[in-house]
């Protein structure tokens, strides 16, 4: 057990070098806590335990650092999810459930989910980073879900639905789940997030099912 008396979450002691992943982790923590506008590069450097000059060796602006957070934290997971979906040999029902539960474990239940709240609150002031988030995260996520729904419709599992509307119905409660974690936790209901997600998945699958529609 460590004998360090340094409080949890405190900036690390300054050292000469840091890997880019350590800098993006520090940036994510501060972006979620303080917001994009209020986070300074010197704050990120201090949190990572390096000098501001060291940070500039890897990132020449706060926008570049934010993009790296998105690329490393969210886009990489979406790429992996797309590869899993392409290789998945089970039903579309099982795939949809797997992807939504994996989203919760890898993004929704982690600090990465706070980026969505950040985009909602600060998007008008930072159009460049907002566009980057839209193109890299929202467009990619919708394309992945579209492929699952099209697979389910093609193989007869899902009834023919308006796919864009179905994607909105699937994703909107996930956004509310994230907002409840970072903004509305003090007035949220009694359900734990994982229970909420499972109920949401059940409702979605019942709504998509051809068998349910025929009853």
Q: State the average pLDDT for the chain.
A: 88
Domain with CATH 1.10.357.10 in the chain: 62-213
Per-residue model confidence as pLDDT tens digits over 64-96: 999 999 999 999 999 999 999 999 999 999 999
CATH architecture of the region 7-60: Orthogonal Bundle (1.10)
Domain with CATH 1.10.10.60 in the chain: 7-60
Q: What is the pTM of this model?
A: 0.84
pLDDT band at 17 (very low <50, low <70, confident <90, very high): low
Query: What was the pLDDT predicted at 210?
Result: 84
In this structure, what token pair is assigned to residue 26? 């520090």
* pLDDT exceeds 90 at position 174: yes
Q: What is the mean pLDDT of residues 166-191?
A: 79
> Considering only 8-12, 121-125, 126-130, which range has the smallest mean pLDDT?
8-12
Superfamily of domain 62-213: Tetracycline Repressor, domain 2 (1.10.357.10)
Query: What was the pLDDT predicted at 4?
Result: 41
* pLDDT exceeds 90 at position 16: no
């Amino acid at each position: 057990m460590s004998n360090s008396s340094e409080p949890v979450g405190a900036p690390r002691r300054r050292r000469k070098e840091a890997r880019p992943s350590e800098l993006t982790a520090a940036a994510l923590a501060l972006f979620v806590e303080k917001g994009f506008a209020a986070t300074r590069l010197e704050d990120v450097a201090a949190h990572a335990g390096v000098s501001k000059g060291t940070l500039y060796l890897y990132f020449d602006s706060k926008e570049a650092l934010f993009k790296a957070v998105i690329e490393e934290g969210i886009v990489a997971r979406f790429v992996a999810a797309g590869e899993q979906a392409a290789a998945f040999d089970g039903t579309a029902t099982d795939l949809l459930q797997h992807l939504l539960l994996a989203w919760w474990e890898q993004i929704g239940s982690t600090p990465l989910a706070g980026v969505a709240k950040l985009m909602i609150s600060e998007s008008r002031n930072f159009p460049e980073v907002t566009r980057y988030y839209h193109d890299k995260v929202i467009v990619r996520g919708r394309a992945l879900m579209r492929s699952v729904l099209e697979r389910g419709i093609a193989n007869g599992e899902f009834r023919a639905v308006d796919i864009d509307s179905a994607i909105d119905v699937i994703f909107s409660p996930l956004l509310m789940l994230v907002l409840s974690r970072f903004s509305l936790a003090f007035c949220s209901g009694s359900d734990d997030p994982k229970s909420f997600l499972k109920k949401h998945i059940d409702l979605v699958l019942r709504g998509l099912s051809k068998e349910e529609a025929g009853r």
